């Protein structure tokens, strides 16, 4: 497994290792082609898991436009430059990172691999790529942080309707060693996702992906109060589907399965989560509450309009992240890369501009960096790697992305990330 920071000639070495292993009959552990990787992973997933992971909002035009946006920019290679030594490292939020990549947050990873977030943490640790720990993780943030060890991780926050819960989650993230809080702004309600709706399937309603909540003292107090208030109430006659859901809730809730099957707490936990998950009344003024509760850098994820970027600066955030949630929230929204240049101009270098949505290869990362991104988040590709080969698969995906970026930089005539600018691109 590749170690970090990438040494000189990283891309060529990764490439050479693949060819040398092929000469003795060893194929890559996962497909290198992004299309083959996605197809292989989707075949391995359950129908419901594939709907949740692969699906996007509405007719999925935004997800497609994320990819189309990359096609509107072409790399213009420069020749006869000394590119024998290349430096992929960046400075971000006061820390030096060996590459400009980040692992964007994705929840409910138990749908695709039994080790879920632990396996991703292992990959992040081994490659020194910061992991944004999902608010909807399958395991508590403390367990994930233990696996990351000395590696860097950030905590993604979905702002709950209960401010005490928000404060508790942020406090726990600080105590677990998170180095930034990433507030996801674009999911204060779920987008219209036909693949999930056709399955009538929401993992959270079955107790999956809510481990950050069921490990939180504030949330558990809300659950106990809810269960007590509803004790003695009449329950509907059970159906096979309802019994399966109860079993799922009971497996996911802390404690012994048999005890949970008899307890009202697992059901109350799901009902409480569905009540407090999000807050659509959130405004710019509420950011002061978060700043009062943490000294960590605050990143706003989901920025797509330059005026919102300016407002973020006015409210003292430490970075913004251009993202449309991989096309999962609004059908027909602007492609994320199409939004990046205007946001970059609005920020004008005052804070880092991060980027995700639609990245599938190292050349995509090169284009995002050229258009002003300080770092590039990756989502679905490493989930596909996780699906196929656990921690090794997730690490292999990121290793391939880093290798391709390294080679793309060299072939285009650039020796460091800091050199890459819009002059490397041509609009078509």
Annotation says 153 is catalytic? no
Characterize 152-161 residue by residue with b for buried, 16 or more Cβ atoms within 10 angstroms of its Cβ, and e for exposed: bbbbbbbbbe
Residue 422 has pLDDT above 60, yes or no: yes
Q: Among residues 113, 153, 305, 325, which one is catalytic?
A: 325
Q: Distance (Å, rounded) from C-alpha 296 to C-alpha 173?
A: 10
Tokens of 35: 């299309």
Residue of 260 and 158 predicted with greater confidence? 158
Q: Distance (Å, rounded) from C-alpha 364 to C-alpha 138?
A: 29
- Residue 268: asked if its preceding bond is cis (omega within 30°), the reply is no
Q: Which residues have C-beta within 8 Å of that of residue 43, sequence separation ≥ 6?
A: none
Place of tokens 């403390």: 142
CA within 13 Å, CB half, 298: 22
Strand partners, 342: none
State residue 182 phi and psi, 5-degree precision: -110, 105
Note the pLDDT tens digit of each residue in 108-153. Answer: 999 999 999 999 999 999 999 999 999 999 999 999 999 999 999 9
pLDDT band at 236 (very low <50, low <70, confident <90, very high): low
Residue 327 has pLDDT above 80, yes or no: yes
Look at 230-239, 251-260, 279-288 and tell me which has the smallest mean pLDDT.
230-239
pLDDT band at 198 (very low <50, low <70, confident <90, very high): very high
pLDDT band at 233 (very low <50, low <70, confident <90, very high): low
Q: Distance (Å, rounded) from C-alpha 199 to C-alpha 48?
A: 7
pLDDT of residue 237: 67
| pLDDT, average across residues 155-179 | 98
Q: Which residues have C-beta within 8 Å of that of residue 388, sequence separation ≥ 6?
A: 29, 30, 37, 40, 41, 44
Q: What is the pTM of this model?
A: 0.95
pLDDT of residue 392: 98
Closest alpha carbon to 248 in 189, 219, 207 = 207
**In percent, how much of the chain has pLDDT > 90?**
90
State residue 86 phi and psi, 5-degree precision: -125, 145
Tokens of 61: 């035009």
pLDDT of residue 243: 80
Closest alpha carbon to 374 in 326, 324, 295, 318 = 318
Contact between 249 and 271 (Cβ < 8 Å): no
pLDDT of residue 239: 83
Note the pLDDT tens digit of each residue in 340-385. Answer: 999 999 999 999 999 999 999 999 999 999 999 999 999 999 999 9
């Amino acid at each position: 497994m590749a170690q970090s920071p990438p040494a000189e000639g990283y891309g060529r070495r990764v490439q050479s290792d693949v060819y040398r292993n092929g000469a003795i009959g060893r194929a890559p552990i996962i497909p290198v082609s992004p299309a083959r990787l996605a197809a292989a992973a989707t075949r391995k997933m359950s129908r419901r898991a594939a709907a949740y992971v692969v699906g996007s909002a509405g007719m999925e035009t935004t997800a497609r436009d994320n990819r189309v946006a990359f096609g509107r920019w072409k790399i213009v290679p420069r020749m006869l430059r000394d590119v024998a030594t290349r430096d992929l490292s960046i400075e971000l939020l006061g820390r030096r990172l060996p590459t400009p990549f980040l692992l964007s947050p994705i929840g409910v990873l138990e749908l695709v691999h039994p080790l879920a977030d632990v396996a991703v943490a292992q990959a992040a640790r081994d490659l020194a790529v910061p992991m944004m720990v999902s608010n909807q993780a399958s395991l508590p943030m403390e367990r994930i942080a233990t696996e990351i060890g000395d590696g860097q991780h950030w905590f993604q926050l979905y702002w709950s309707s209960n401010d005490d819960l928000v404060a508790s989650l942020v406090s726990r993230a600080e105590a677990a060693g998170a180095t930034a809080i990433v507030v996801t702004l674009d999911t204060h309600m779920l987008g219209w996702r036909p693949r999930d709706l056709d399955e009538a399937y929401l993992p959270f309603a079955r107790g999956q992906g809510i481990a950050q909540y069921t490990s939180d003292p504030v949330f558990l107090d809300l659950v106990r109060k809810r269960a007590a208030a509803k004790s003695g109430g009449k329950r509907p006659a059970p159906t096979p589907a309802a019994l399966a859901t109860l079993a799922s809730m009971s497996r996911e809730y802390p404690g012994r399965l048999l005890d949970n099957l008899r307890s009202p707490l697992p059901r109350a936990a799901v009902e409480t989560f569905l009540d407090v998950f999000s807050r659509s009344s959130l405004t710019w003024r509420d950011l002061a509450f978060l700043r009062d509760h943490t000294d960590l850098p605050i990143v706003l994820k989901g920025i797509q309009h330059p005026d919102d970027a300016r407002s973020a600066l006015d409210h003292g955030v430490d970075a913004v992240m251009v993202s449309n949630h991989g096309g999962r929230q609004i059908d027909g929204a602007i492609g994320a890369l199409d939004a990046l240049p205007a946001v970059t101009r609005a920020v004008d270098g005052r804070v880092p501009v991060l980027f995700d949505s639609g990245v599938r290869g190292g050349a995509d990362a090169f284009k995002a960096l050229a258009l002003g991104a300080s770092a590039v988040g990756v989502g679905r590709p490493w989930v596909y790697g996780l699906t196929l080969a656990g921690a090794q698969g997730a690490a292999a995906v990121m290793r391939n992305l880093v290798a391709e970026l390294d080679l793309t930089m060299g072939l285009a005539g650039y020796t460091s990330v800091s050199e890459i600018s819009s002059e490397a691109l041509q609009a078509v």
